[in-house]
Amino acid sequence: MNSGGARAVAAGGSPDAPSAGTPGGAERARKARRYARLRPGDRVAVVAPSGPAEPSRLEAGCAVLRDLGLDVVVGKHALDRVNLGPAGPVRGDWHRLAGTDADRAADLQAAWCDPRVRAVVCARGGYGATRVLDHLDWDALRAATEASLASGGGPKILHGSSDITALHGAFGTRLRITTSFGPMPAGVVADLDPAAPDASLDALRAALLGGPAVAPAVLPGTRTLRPGRAEGPLTGGTLSLLTAVLGTPYAPPPAAGRIVFLEDVTEAPYRIDRMLVQLLQAGWFDGAAGFALGSWKDCGDPAELDAVFAARLGPLGVPVLAGLPAGHGPRQHTLELGAPAALHAPAPPGHDPAHPHPAVPDTGALTLEAPPGGAR
């Protein structure tokens, strides 16, 4: 196993080179094109590739997006409900999806291929995104992406989090674009008041719309599990989804030379440990430049989690910063997956020879490079 390091390079390859035998190897090795920020009046399509949205929450979240100045349309099947098995009467006490796999994929593809749409925003997570991947026409999605680039508008935005991690990996790899990991309309966004100050809303606005002079996005951590500095493209997402797509044609490329963002919800520490071991044994973490850990809502004793992360990730010899305000917690900042990033995980006070007694403890941060040229 490669121990990694800042700007880590997997043995015998470049930081962006995939593991041998990885599907789509040549395509994965190319640099991601950064998505174009939105302008007021741009059309945004809200679709539901996973679970069904509650109508009132979806409308509340769409109203927030409209208050940002966006023209919001909702996918045809966003409020549909089907159970996991064959077609039949819907049982409310069984798990439900927002329509059949084919219908959810059709909404997503129609939105991405519509030249009037500048961003595709996922209504909520839950479960079901992995099931739509085989139903998408990737040639059509790729053609729509290239047409968007040719028009001078830059790549469209795919936005969502949690279960949408499966789509982030596939879109980022197959379309060579950056994607947006953050709060969704039928989730946290539905509870936001555009007239009230809110860090999550400010971060979402900055990530999607930017401005004439977009500043780097800085997410402060709360504690260092292993000190150091690293640079590299940002990868990762929700841990359980990263393990779910591992070994499939839709998995993101291995993390060599990249900063890995991880978060999850309602997973016991032993399950998190098991998923980390799986990714380690698969070699997906080999050569990673560093780790940025977000929220772990309802995931057990935080001290036990820190011990798990220190034991599994610490031996890789790269910086590990915990406590970033991103994921399923109350503070959900937005991250541009695939964008250049820098990670600073400071040594605890008294252990840094250069700053043994800082006046204000340095909690470290994950910094995402501002998009070139500002907003579109």
Q: Are residues 148 and 265 in the same domain?
A: no
295 token code pair: 């929220």
Q: How far apart are CA 62 and CA 56, in angstroms?
A: 10
What is the domain-level CATH number for residue 242? 3.50.30.60
What is the domain-level CATH number for residue 205? 3.40.50.10740
Q: Are residues 243 and 330 in the same domain?
A: yes
The whole-angstrom distance between residue 256's C-alpha and the CA centroid of its chain comes to 17
Boundary (domain end) residue, out of 186, 209, 232: 209
* 29, part of any domain: no
Question: Known catalytic residue: 263?
Answer: yes
176 token code pair: 């060579």
Beta bridge partners of 83: 96
pTM attached to this predicted model: 0.88
234 token code pair: 């940002």
pLDDT by 10s per residue, the chain, length 376: 444 433 333 323 333 333 333 333 333 446 899 999 999 999 999 999 999 999 999 999 999 999 999 999 999 999 999 988 887 888 888 888 999 999 999 999 999 999 999 999 999 999 999 999 999 999 999 999 999 999 888 899 999 999 999 999 999 999 999 999 999 999 999 998 888 888 999 999 999 998 655 678 899 999 999 999 999 999 999 999 999 999 999 999 999 999 999 999 999 999 999 999 999 999 999 999 999 999 999 999 999 999 999 999 999 999 999 999 999 988 899 999 999 999 999 997 665 555 544 445 678 999 999 877 544 5
From 263, 295, 336, 344, the catalytic residue: 263
From 77, 168, 328, 344, the catalytic residue: 328
Q: Are residues 180 and 227 in the same domain?
A: no
Q: Are residues 66 and 172 in the same domain?
A: yes
* 1, part of any domain: no
* 376, part of any domain: no
Q: Are residues 273 and 195 in the same domain?
A: no
Boundary (domain end) residue, out of 168, 186, 209: 209
* 30, part of any domain: no
Q: Are residues 227 and 135 in the same domain?
A: no
- Expressed as residue numbers, the domain containing 337 is 217-350+362-368
Q: With residue 141 as reference, give the H or E element that holds it.
A: helix 138-150
Q: Quote the number of domains for the chain.
A: 2
Picking from 233, 242, 249, the residue whose alpha carbon sits closest to that of residue 24 is 249
From 161, 162, 180, 200, the catalytic residue: 162
* 28, part of any domain: no
* 248, part of any domain: yes
Q: How far apart are CA 95 and CA 115, in angstroms?
A: 34
Q: Are residues 331 and 192 in the same domain?
A: no
Boundary (domain end) residue, out of 159, 180, 209: 209
Question: Known catalytic residue: 328?
Answer: yes
